[in-house]
Amino acid sequence: MKVLLGHGSGGRLSAQLTRDIFLPAFANPALDRLDDQAILQVNGTRLAFTTDTFVVKPLFFRGGDIGSLAVHGTVNDLAMGGADPLFLSAAFILEEGLDMETLQRAARSMASAAKSAGVQIVTGDTKVVEKGSGDGLFINTTGIGVVRDGLELSANRARPGDAVILSGSIGDHGIAILSEREGLQFECPIESDSAPLHGLVRTMLDTSLEIRCLRDPTRGGLSSTLNELASQSRVGIVINEERIPVREEVRGACELLGLDPLYVANEGKLVAIAAPGCADQIVEAMRRDPLGSQARIIGHVTESNPGMVVMRTVFGTSRIVDMLAGDQLPRIC
Amino acid sequence: MCLAIPGKILDTTEIGENRIGRVQFGGITRQAYLDWVPEAQPGDYVMVHVGFAISRVDEAEAERTYRLLEEMGLLAEEGLSETQRAGDRQP
Amino acid sequence: MKYLDEYRDADLARTLAAAIRERVTKPWVLMEICGGQTHTLMRYGLDEMLPSEVEMVHGPGCPVCVTPLEVLDKAIAIASLPDVTFVSYGDMLRVPGSRLDLFRVKAAGGDIRMAYTPMEAVRIAREHPLRKVVFFGVGFETTAPANAMAVWQAHREGLRNFSMLASHVLVPPAIRLLLGSRENRVQGFIAPGHVCTIMGYRQYEELSATYRVPIVVGGFEPVDLLQAISMLVAQLEEGRAEVENQYVRSVTREGNEPAQRVMNEIFEVADRAWRGVGTIPASGLRIRPEFAAYDAERVFDVEAITAEEPAECISAQVLQGLKKPVDCPAFGTLCTPENPLGAPMVSTEGACAAYYTYRRNLVCAP
């Protein structure tokens, strides 16, 4: 049995890999919660600790590049744990023959993103692999931050009745990347939505601490995130199709390629599960932040159909939003 | 294989023996071969399948049948309100 | 998006559903032929909106699903060769052959690429003269002209490193087979709107007359399908059996003649095996002998490859509309999108995948 591209797509195959190989190997309570970050008690302080590796192709795209993605991605995983991101490490795997100029650009971009996000890159590592063994450049960032007091965020805390909040339009990043890939060739003004979300999260937490979980829907899209939450909390989630914002360009690209925006990657959006009583205030507060201007409640948590995500279509009928096995493939029928 | 979607032709060029158009779908554009829809001009809508326009959308026909559908909808609403009025008159 | 959004209007959909409910006086079994139409039905939950008297069974209009196991195995054999760049539409990549699928071949080092259009394969062949570029030309009549253009263009440019592994199937012979079967329960058909955009609907007139069955050419949006269903129900209730065209904005009786010409230039009609169904005479297309240099089956020595279907897979009966995916004992258990036993579970247009993805075990409506 070999590793397939699908194992990295964030869908079912990825989950299988974690379940079959990594969980049994590393088993411990922090890991078993399968959040995007580990929350650890160290000498009376709660720390959030997370890591992510960035393998995006192409390396530079509209709205970002592998460098800014590497900073934002890890900052966001910390923010989703309710932490103030403080420090990042950066490890580079370079393919022999990579243009020095490319590396320079990526590094400068990382520096700029880190500065805007208010984090420092304090340590790192570099390795070079032989030509043909990589896609030019891979970056791993690991981050650490301090978790706010009084906050308990976890994917297993959603309860029936809770509101599901989405911060903005879906599919921007995935389509921006696709439009720059060979083979598909469409012109698209969409930029990746890659952005650091800790400011937005801070605003939300200042409004209310009755937020059960925060997740940023990256690869695998909104669908994967909601399915994970439903599964880990053992609840059902119902969302309303009409409530989900999709930009016109993203729609056009998805229609052309036969893709469903629910499965397309994002890099600057978040999902929050919050107690019903405070959801409206949270959304109002989010809308005052430029990264949350399109925030809205898109659905709620239910007791029925635990582990499943159901969508109420614009027709009022219901369909399941299932987890994909691997990557979503453009179709021609 | 049947995924074809409607797009608006923005402009056309000749490349070799082929006529190629820039077609707009929602907010994106892509090239498509227009050789099979010789009558299609910029401003027209075409159905595009795997990079080829397979038909020019017949706007007149589309308009006509859509209007029929809408009328059906209005009639149905009126029918409903008749029933409601009848119901209101019940003691 | 114009000509798309209007046909997804919820009010219109409800109006049509109500009209169907109003009109129907007895049970009718209808079939939508194209996989794309099945997907729309499932994705918008249209079957929930239809009265219980109308039963939709899903037809064999999934060219990915009906690609014979043998052809998959040939594709995999060719794609595994070190000097080959194998280009395919996205949905074929996950379809299982006898042992492997193209993704697994990629994992083992095969140069396999996905393309939106067959002309992309021509471009790759042009830019990489030392690679043998093979395009996996699968599809119904909708896609045949486009695939033909790729061969035509390669021929015009003298690209000797380009070839196509063609596996084309034609819809009318499949419908004829269905209608001729003693077990057929289908009383009315929604003909595939984009196939008919290319071919017109003349071929369906003979079928309709011979078998006394109503056929409505339908589009792919929810309003299109509901309108087509309402037209079929009207015919059935009135005892008529004609060919009608719902998809007037794209389909004419004659179809698209320039596209048909290109298709006939490169391809000729041949007998074809349909996965899970068997060989249907004159139901497919093969590359004409004049273009043999571009026929991957001849260029690469793969003619001898044959294959056997897994025993548990009932895709044959699902594709013919005799069973629903949920009737299959392996559905959702042994057979899932990650571990498909047959193509209808893997292909995004396949009836089984559509059920699994959109409906599955929807226990209680929330």
Read off the pLDDT band of C348 (50, 70, 90).
low
Which single residue is written with the structure tokens 């979503």?
A328
Query: What value does the mean pLDDT of chain C take?
Result: 90
Residue B85 has pLDDT above 50, yes or no: no
Most confident stretch, A200-204, A322-326, B81-85: A200-204
Read off the pLDDT band of C259 (50, 70, 90).
very high
Which residues of chain C neighbour B64 with C-beta distances below 8 Å?
Answer: 248
Residue range of the domain that includes B68: 58-91
CATH number at residue B47: 2.30.30.140
Which single residue is written with the structure tokens 């060919």?
C243
Residue C362 has pLDDT above 70, yes or no: no
User: What is the model's pTM?
Assistant: 0.90
Q: What is the pLDDT of residues C82-128, one digit of tens each?
A: 999 999 998 888 788 888 889 889 888 899 999 999 999 999 999 99
Among A151-160, B45-54, C203-212, name the one with the lowest average pLDDT. A151-160
Q: Indicate if B53 and B63 belong to the same structural domain.
A: no
Which single residue is written with the structure tokens 């929810």?
C222
Phi, psi of A145 (to 5 degrees): -155, 170
Domain with CATH 3.30.1330.10 in chain A: 33-147
Assigned CATH topology for domain A33-147: 60s Ribosomal Protein L30; Chain: A; (3.30.1330)
Phi, psi of B26 (to 5 degrees): 60, -120
> Which residue of chain C comes nearest to A254, CA vs CA?
C1
Q: What is the pLDDT of residue B77?
A: 65
Which residues of chain C neighbour B36 with C-beta distances below 8 Å?
Answer: 145, 256, 258-259, 262
Q: Indicate if B48 and B64 belong to the same structural domain.
A: no
Q: What is the pLDDT of residues A83-106, one digit of tens each?
A: 999 999 999 999 998 999 999 999
C336 min Cα distance to partner chain B (Å): 22
Which residues of chain A neighbour B4 with C-beta distances below 8 Å?
Answer: none
Which residues of chain A neighbour B27 with C-beta distances below 8 Å?
Answer: 188-190, 247-252
Among A258-272, C49-63, C227-241, C330-344, name the one with the lowest average pLDDT. C330-344
Identify the CATH assignment for A163-320 out of 3.90.650.10, 2.40.10.120, 3.90.550.10, 3.40.50.9100. Answer: 3.90.650.10
Read off the pLDDT band of C350 (50, 70, 90).
confident
Contact flag C149-B52 (C-beta cutoff 8 Å): yes
B15 min Cα distance to partner chain C (Å): 12
Assigned CATH topology for domain C65-170+255-299: Rossmann fold (3.40.50)
Query: Six-digit token pair at A197?
Result: 């979300």
To the nearest whole percent, how much of chain A has pLDDT over 90? 71
For residue A175, which amino acid is it?
Answer: I
Q: Indicate if B39 and B17 belong to the same structural domain.
A: yes
Q: Does B1 touch chain A (CB under 8 A)?
A: yes
Number of domains in chain B: 2
Q: Indicate if B44 and B79 belong to the same structural domain.
A: no
To the nearest whole percent, how much of chain C has pLDDT over 70? 95
Read off the pLDDT band of B79 (50, 70, 90).
low
Q: Does A191 touch chain B (CB under 8 A)?
A: no
Q: For the sheet containing A83-95, what is the strand order?
A: A38-42, A45-54, A137-147, A83-95, A120-129
What DSSP designation does C335 have?
B
Query: Six-digit token pair at C92?
Result: 């074929």
C212 min Cα distance to partner chain B (Å): 26
Which residues of chain A neighbour B26 with C-beta distances below 8 Å?
Answer: 248-249, 251-253, 255
Q: Indicate if B12 and B52 belong to the same structural domain.
A: yes
Q: What is the pLDDT of residue C22?
A: 93
B26 min Cα distance to partner chain A (Å): 4
ipTM for the complex? 0.91
Look at residues A274, A111, A130, A261 and name the one whose alpha carbon lies nearest to residue A201: A274
Residue-range domain boundaries for chain C: 5-53+184-238, 65-170+255-299, 315-358
Which single residue is written with the structure tokens 């079939």?
C31
Residue C210's region, left for phi above 0, alpha for psi from -120 to 50, else beta, is alpha
Q: What is the pLDDT of residues A301-320, one digit of tens each?
A: 999 999 999 999 999 999 88
| CATH 3.20.20.70 holds for C5-53+184-238 | no
